[in-house]
Amino acid sequence: MAARRSALSALASAAVLAAPLALAGCTAGSTAIVAGGPSTLAVGFTAEPQNFDFTTTDGAAIPQALLYNVYETLVKIDSDGEITGGLAESWDVSDDRTVYDFHLRDDATFSNGEPFTASDVEFSVERVKQDWTISLQSGMDVVDRVEVVGEYHARVVLSRPSNSWLRAMTTRIGAMFDPSGVADLANDPVGTGPYDVESRRRGDAVVLTRNPEYSRPGSPRPEPDYRTVVLKYYADATALNNALLSGGIDVISGVTAPDSVPQFEADNRFRVLQGTTNGEVVLAYNNRRAPLDDVRVRKALTYAVDRKALLEAAWGGRGELIGSMVPPTDPWFEDLSGEYPYDPDRARRLLREAGHESLRLNLRIANLPYAVSSAQVVAAHLKKVGVTVDIEPLDFPAVWLQQVFTDGDYDMSIVQHVEPQDITTFGDPEFYWGYDSERVQRLLTEADTAPPREYIADMRRVARTLSDDAAANWLFLFPNIVVAKNEVRGLQANQVSESFDLTGLRRQEPS
Amino acid sequence: MTVGERVAAGASPAVAIARRLVIFVVSVGVASVVVFAFMAVLPGDPAQVALGVNATPELVEQTRQEFGLDRPLVTQYLDWMGGLLTGDFGTSYVTKEAIGPQLLDRLGVTLWLVGAGMLVALLLAVPTGIVAAVRHRKPSGVIVSAASQVGVAVPAFLAAIILVQVFAVQLGWLPSGGWTPPAYDVGAWLSGLILPAVSLGLVQGAVLTRYVRSAVLDVQREDFLRTARAKGLRPYPALLRHGLRNAAVPVVTVLGLQLATLLVGAVVIERVFVLPGLGSMLLDAVAARDLLTVQSVVLVLVVGVLLVNFLVDVLYAVLDPRLRRS
């Protein structure tokens, strides 16, 4: 009797525990704070915007969410790296390449109802020079003045020819603002794009809804397909994967745990797209500090690392070996991955030549998965040529920025450089590379002012010189891996711009 | 000395509670200094983090001034405390938003999580603890006891990962994460709360089971319970009618301690389930070196723990009539 009763009470307590579980079964799946349905898309990201003001707060997360989607630019960059029209339908460049005439769309309107005109171009460009504080702001230094020629005709005059300027106009510094829409950029962005920020829940999601003012008759996509897009933020890569697997989201914007990709590839509910990014994972050498100020040592270390094996071990073989600071979508890309073939004997010889039988170097890396796993391979390979490596993961971004980037207190470091055209950082001797080459500085200046064809040739020369000097060791190009439910179409494999471009997305009914 | 002990020792309840209140306020003050000092020595410059790579030193310096980081530490501390006393937590220089409302919003999520976790722990621990105690010599009691031992050894985040795999990814019954405010959709809110609460509550429940069991075992040996049994009551009714209240006193002590553990555990669980609570607010703010926000969150957590301890003390007097007479 007693035994039966205790069994009963155990059952009862089990039932109490199970009741809410059973009850919840009916409502599973709805995790977004807006109603789901075919016109809603939920996209998962790993880095959340701190605020919505990319004019004073740096970082990839804000332009990823807002650029092209909420804010538009005069010119856009497509997934092949080509510059195409945006708010400007077309543009002419003067023969001396200092005057740009932009012919604007006459049907663009800001989400506050104000029409977009040439005076907004003047306002926005001037504002970059005066009020922006992020470092990219310097991309606008070359602009001398903006003239409002007509309501839909803006003229930008440069103080000298610049090839990089128009390309920079496809990034956030080219975003167009309305003078009456900049009062609270951090919380209330106002743009001409197809979406408007409806709400945000910090630590969780940003909800974009269709901008009622947006209509582009005659364009390939007069209106966005999805009325509502929920940008969901997951600090943890596994949580992000689980959200897609359990139906909480429709798209993973970028997989950061490569070993999880096969499970998506094997599952016919999903599609996996793999392309390139602008993110070079760089083993930085402190060119300013002995013994790495000796080119023989830098070359030795570059020969000593088997990058193919590293990519396999650190990132599941996903990514590309490029051997330079240039991603394949830049027009001056040249595959330099064969310049330093894996050759430990040669590395040892070079080190001996430089007078080092053995070395001890610190490797102060960002405490991020790709850097930690790459560092272990680097340390193992360098050990074989007599270099002892002390790996020190630093809290990223705060501590890494302070110690390595600002103070330059490091021998080697590993971090991913994601800014477009960041090869130009090698022209700045103050940059944390500590790389001071007159030739590279001269070539970069010449390249920017040269006619377009020479521009490309000059940039190739820069990349080659950096490689010859072993100014850094370009381990691999970070892959862009997008996973989506089958019905989501129009996603781009290559991440070329700073934006996660929602404008081309559409839903395909399952057949 | 607890409020109960003070009262028992002859002090009036009001004086005893006032004493504890003073200690509570002083503790909060000391905690605020410690928290602030800790933030001040944390490596990493908030201005540099906000501006990112390529920022010029002049710009970083200018931004430091805007953030008010160039002022003497004492001024910064006094400003902060002055604001807190008037209920103003200040505006984050990273998010450009008022911290107070943010904090309240996030606190709501964490309190739901901790409350639900506690509920799960109690629902689990009280029945199983009693069964384990009453049947402590029988195989079923030993099995319950051993199972709780296993539960103690499993960290909450591991339980969370396993639960997500089974109930969200494989079975698809519950969402793998995310938060819906209860005011928006009660069903979605509940379904989102279950897995986090169970992961948090399972481990605490297992710990609590062991305390309930030993408390009940102790009570069972008391004379009054033997008398009740002798009177003819069966074990469970005897325990329910005469023993539980007595067993509750030590259990409440542990419960108070566990609430503090739950608050800390919630930080990790929020991360796993992507819940916008205090924990994720804290971790995000640390990463962005949003010092003002970090300070405020940590202080709220510290005050929360101190408050729980204070309330537990007061609760003794309620539970134990011997400690209640004036």
What ipTM did this prediction achieve? 0.74
Cβ–Cβ gap A13/B56 under 8 Å: no
For residue A310, what pLDDT is reported?
A: 96
CB pairs below 8 Å between A and B: how many?
Answer: 221
What is the token pair recorded at B209? 């089971």
For residue B215, what pLDDT is reported?
A: 84
Nearest to B156 by CA among B284, B260, B261: B261
Q: Can you spell out the DSSP letters for B119-138?
A: HHHHHHHHHHHHHHHHTTTS
Residue B191's SS3 state is helix
Q: How far apart are CA A30 and CA A243, in angstroms?
A: 11
Residue B250's SS3 state is helix
Q: Residue A388: what are its φ and ψ, rounded to 5°?
A: -90, 130
Q: Between B214 and A226, name the one with better pLDDT.
A: A226
Q: Is B123 left (phi over 0), alpha (psi -120 to 50) or beta?
A: alpha
By the 8 A CB rule, do B51 and B60 touch? Answer: yes
Sort out which chain B residues have CB atoms less than 8 A from A58's CB and list them.
50-53, 55
Nearest to B194 among A21, A56, A246 (CB): A21
Give the Cα-Cα-Cα angle A56, A400, A290 (nearest 5 degrees). 125
Q: A126, exposed or middle or buried, with CB in 10 Å at 0-12, 13-18, 19+? A: middle
Q: Which residues pair with B282 in a beta bridge?
A: none
Q: How far apart are CA A10 and CA A15, in angstroms?
A: 9
Count Cα atoms within 13 angstroms, Cβ side, for A247: 14
Sort out which chain B residues have CB atoms less than 8 A from A3's CB and list them.
138, 140
Q: What are the distances in angstroms from CA A423 to CA A160, A272, A299, B138?
A: 21, 30, 19, 74
Q: What is the mean pLDDT of residues B32-45?
A: 84
Nearest to A90 by CA among A26, A154, A158, A167: A154
B238-284: pLDDT as tens digits: 777 777 777 777 787 788 888 878 887 888 898 888 899 998 888 88
Cβ–Cβ gap B274/A243 under 8 Å: yes
Q: How far apart are CA B172 and CA A267, in angstroms?
A: 15
Cβ–Cβ gap B179/A397 under 8 Å: no
Residue type, B73: L
Report strand pairing: A270-285 vs A412-417: antiparallel
By the 8 A CB rule, do B24 and B31 touch? Answer: no
Nearest CA in chain A to B62: A133
Q: A406, exposed or middle or buried, with CB in 10 Å at 0-12, 13-18, 19+? A: middle
CB atoms within 10 A of CB A88: 25
Is residue B130 scored above 60 in pLDDT? yes
Residue A303's SS3 state is helix
Mind listing the pLDDT tens digit of every residue in chain A (511 residues)? 333 333 333 333 333 333 333 333 333 333 344 446 778 999 999 889 989 999 988 888 999 999 999 999 999 998 888 899 999 999 999 999 999 999 999 999 999 999 999 999 999 999 999 999 887 888 999 999 999 999 999 999 999 999 999 999 999 999 999 999 999 999 999 999 999 999 988 888 999 999 988 988 777 777 888 999 999 998 888 889 989 998 889 999 999 888 889 999 999 999 999 999 999 999 999 999 999 999 999 999 999 999 999 999 999 999 999 999 999 999 999 999 999 999 999 999 999 999 998 999 999 999 988 999 999 999 999 999 999 999 999 988 888 988 999 899 999 999 999 888 899 999 999 999 999 999 999 999 999 999 988 999 999 999 999 999 999 999 999 999 999 999 999 999 998 889 999 988 998 876 6
Using 50, 70 and 90 to split pLDDT, how confident is the model at B53? low
Using 50, 70 and 90 to split pLDDT, how confident is the model at B93? confident
